[in-house]
C-alpha cells in the first residue's frame, strides 16, 4: 500500500484547515467506504484527517421544530433515536436496512452521505472508468450493469448512489450544513448530489475541503410521521438496494392526497426525489390506480439498459406498495 499520513482534527475549522490545499487529502469518518476504496487502489490519499472527534455527535432540536443531527453521529445511534423513529420512521428504517450492524456502528452521518457511487468498473482499477479515470470510457453500458442507473444517467456514467439514508433524507427534505474554506453554507440534500453528465468524477457539489457538519431535518409533518422506507435487495441483509423507496403520505379528511413525499434509491447517480409523481398525486384520491398512474409518470423518463430494465417495474411497484401501505392498504 501507499504510505499516508494521518491526523486527528480537533474542531471543524481545524479539519478544513488541515485539508485545504492538499488535493491528496481526505476526511476520514467511519472509514467504511474510504478504507475499502483504498484497499482496492481506487483511492490513494496521502493524508487522512480524522473527523470523528469534532464534537459533532449530537442529535438536538432546533428552533422552529426541526432536528439537527451532527455529522459525526453513528448510523446505529441515529437509527435508535426514539424521537426520530416516531417523527420520521422512514429515516430509521433506511438506516437499519443499510449494511450490517458492525458497519452501522462505525458509519457516520457525514460519511454515509459522501460514500462514493457504486459500479463494478469504478471499483476495479484494471478496467476503464470515466469516474475514476476521466476520459477512459464507460464499459458498463455494454458490460455488467444489472445494478446500475435507469434515471438521470449519461453516456459517460451509469453508476448509482448506494446510500439508503440519503434516500430518506431526500424524501424528508433535509438540509446539509457545510463548512469549508469559503465559510459556512447550507444546501438541500437533493442539491448536494450531482448527475454524472459530462463529468462523472464528482459525485457531489462539494469541494474536497468542504466538511459536512450536520444534517437538519425540517419540522415533522404528516408525510414525515406516516412514512416508510422499503428496500428490495438480493439478500435479506448486508446488500445494497436493487431498488428502494422512501415515502411519506399525508391524507386530507376526505381521503385525498394532501402531502406526499417520494424518493427512489438505486436508480440514479443520486437519491432520486420523485417530484413528478408527487405532483401527479397531490390533491388526487389515495387509490391504487392513482398511485400506479403517478409511478408511471415518474418512471416515464427512465432509460434502462437490457439488464436493468426490470428496475422500472420494480421502482413503480415499490412506489405503489409503499403508498398503499401508508394509505392503510394491504400490508407488505
Partner 1 sequence: MSAPVFRRPAAAGPPQPREESVEKVTGAARYAYEYPQQEAAYAWIVTSPIAKGRVLTVDADHVLRSDDVIAVLRHDNAPRLEDVGDPALAVLQDPAVAYRGQVVALVVAKTPEAAREAAATLPVEYEELGHDVVLTPDHESLYQPDAVNPDYPADTEQGDPDGAFEASPVRVDHTYRTVALHNNPMEPHATTALWHDDGSLTLYDSNQGGHVVRQTIAGLFGLAPDRVRVMNPHVGGGFGSKGTPRPNVVLAAMAAQVTGRPVKIAVTRQQMFSLVGYRTPTIQRVRLGAEADGRLNSITHEVVEQTSTVKEFAEQTAVATRSMYAAPHRRTSHRLARLDVPVPSWMRAPGECPGFFAFESALDELAAELGMDPIDLRVRNEPETDPESGKPFSSRNLVACLRQGAERFGWEPRPRAPRTRRDGRWLIGTGVASSYYPTYEAPATATVSADENGHHTVAINATDIGTGARTALHQLAAEALDVPWADVTVRIGDSDLPQAGLAGGSMGTRSWGWAVTKACRALREQGGGSVTANTAEDIKALGEYSRAAYGAQFVEVRVNQDTGELRVPRMTGVFAAGRIVNSRTARSQFIGGMTMGLSMALHEEGVMDAAFGDYANHDLASYHVAACADVGTMDIAWIEEDDEHLGGTGTKGIGEIGIVGTAAAVANAVYDATGVRVRDLPIHLEDLLA
Binding to partner 1 in span 179-198, by CB under 8 A: none
Binding to partner 1 in span 238-297, by CB under 8 A: 238-240, 242-243
User: How many other C-beta atoms can be found within 10 angstroms of the C-beta atom of residue 53?
Assistant: 13
Q: Indicate whether 330 belongs to the interface with partner 1 (CB under 8 A).
A: yes
Q: Indicate whether 236 belongs to the interface with partner 1 (CB under 8 A).
A: yes
Rule CB under 8 A: choose which of 207, 234, 289, 303 binds partner 1. Answer: 234
CB crowding 195-218: b at 16 or more within 10 Å, else e: bbeeebeebbebebbbbbbbbbbb
Q: How is residue 307 annotated by DSSP?
A: G
Rule CB under 8 A: choose which of 24, 31, 66, 120 binds partner 1. Answer: 120
Please state the φ and ψ torsions of residue 210, each to the nearest 5 degrees. -80, 130
> Cβ 331 to partner 1, closest distance in Å?
5
Q: Indicate whether 141 belongs to the interface with partner 1 (CB under 8 A).
A: no
Residue 66's Cβ-count burial label (10 Å; 0-12, 13-18, 19+) is middle
Rule CB under 8 A: choose which of 150, 169, 268, 321 binds partner 1. Answer: 321
CB-nearer residue toward partner 1: 147 or 203? 147
Give the whole-angstrom CA distance, residue 192 versus residue 323. 26
Give the whole-angstrom CA distance, residue 196 versus residue 54. 31
Nearest CA-CA partner of 160 in 207, 191, 120: 120
Quick check: 291 and 281 in contact, CB under 8 A?
Answer: yes
> Cβ 143 to partner 1, closest distance in Å?
5
Q: Total residues at the site for partner 1 (CB under 8 A)?
A: 36
204: which residues sit within 8 A by CB, 6+ positions away?
Answer: 113, 114, 192, 193, 194
CB-nearer residue toward partner 1: 300 or 331? 331
Q: Indicate whether 313 belongs to the interface with partner 1 (CB under 8 A).
A: yes
Determine the interface stretch with partner 1 among 47-55, 169-177, 212-220, 229-237 (rule: CB under 8 A).
229-237
- Residue written as cell 409518470? 297
Rule CB under 8 A: choose which of 13, 144, 205, 279 binds partner 1. Answer: 144
Footprint of partner 1 on this chain (CB under 8 A)?
Answer: 1-3, 36, 41, 120, 123-124, 126-127, 139, 142-144, 146, 232-240, 242-243, 310, 313-314, 317-318, 320-321, 330-332
Amino acid at each position: 500500500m501507499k504510505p499516508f499520513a494521518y491526523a486527528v482534527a480537533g474542531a471543524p475549522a481545524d479539519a478544513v484547515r488541515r485539508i485545504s490545499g492538499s488535493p491528496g487529502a481526505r476526511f476520514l469518518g467511519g472509514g467504511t467506504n474510504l478504507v475499502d476504496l483504498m484497499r482496492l487502489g481506487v483511492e490513494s490519499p496521502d493524508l487522512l484527517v480524522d473527523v470523528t472527534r469534532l464534537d459533532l455527535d449530537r442529535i438536538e432540536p432546533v428552533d422552529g421544530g426541526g432536528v439537527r443531527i451532527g455529522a459525526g453521529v453513528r448510523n446505529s445511534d441515529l437509527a435508535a433515536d426514539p424521537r426520530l423513529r416516531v417523527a420520521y420512521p422512514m429515516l430509521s428504517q433506511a438506516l437499519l436496512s443499510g449494511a450490517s450492524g458492525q458497519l452501522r456502528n462505525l458509519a457516520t452521518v457525514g460519511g454515509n452521505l459522501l460514500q462514493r457511487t457504486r459500479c463494478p468498473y469504478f471499483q476495479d482499477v484494471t478496467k476503464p472508468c470515466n469516474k475514476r479515470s476521466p476520459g477512459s470510457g464507460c464499459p458498463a453500458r455494454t458490460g455488467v450493469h444489472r445494478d446500475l442507473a435507469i434515471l438521470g444517467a449519461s453516456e459517460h456514467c451509469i453508476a448509482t448512489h448506494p446510500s439508503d439514508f440519503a434516500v430518506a433524507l431526500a424524501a424528508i427534505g433535509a438540509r446539509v450544513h457545510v463548512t469549508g474554506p469559503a465559510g459556512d453554507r447550507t444546501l438541500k440534500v437533493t442539491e448536494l448530489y450531482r448527475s454524472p453528465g459530462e463529468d462523472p468524477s464528482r459525485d457531489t457539489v462539494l469541494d474536497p475541503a468542504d466538511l459536512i457538519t450536520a444534517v437538519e431535518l425540517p419540522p415533522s409533518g404528516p408525510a414525515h410521521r406516516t412514512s416508510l422506507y422499503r428496500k428490495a435487495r438480493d439478500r435479506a441483509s448486508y446488500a445494497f438496494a436493487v431498488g428502494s423507496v422512501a415515502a411519506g403520505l399525508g391524507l386530507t379528511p376526505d381521503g385525498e392526497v394532501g402531502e406526499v413525499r417520494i424518493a427512489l434509491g438505486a436508480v440514479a447517480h443520486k437519491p432520486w426525489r420523485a417530484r413528478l409523481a408527487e405532483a401527479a398525486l397531490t390533491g388526487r384520491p389515495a387509490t391504487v390506480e392513482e398511485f400506479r398512474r403517478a409511478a408511471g409518470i415518474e418512471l416515464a423518463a427512465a432509460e434502462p439498459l437490457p439488464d436493468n430494465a426490470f428496475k422500472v417495474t420494480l421502482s413503480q411497484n415499490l412506489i405503489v406498495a409503499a403508498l398503499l401501505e401508508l394509505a392503510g392498504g394491504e400490508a407488505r
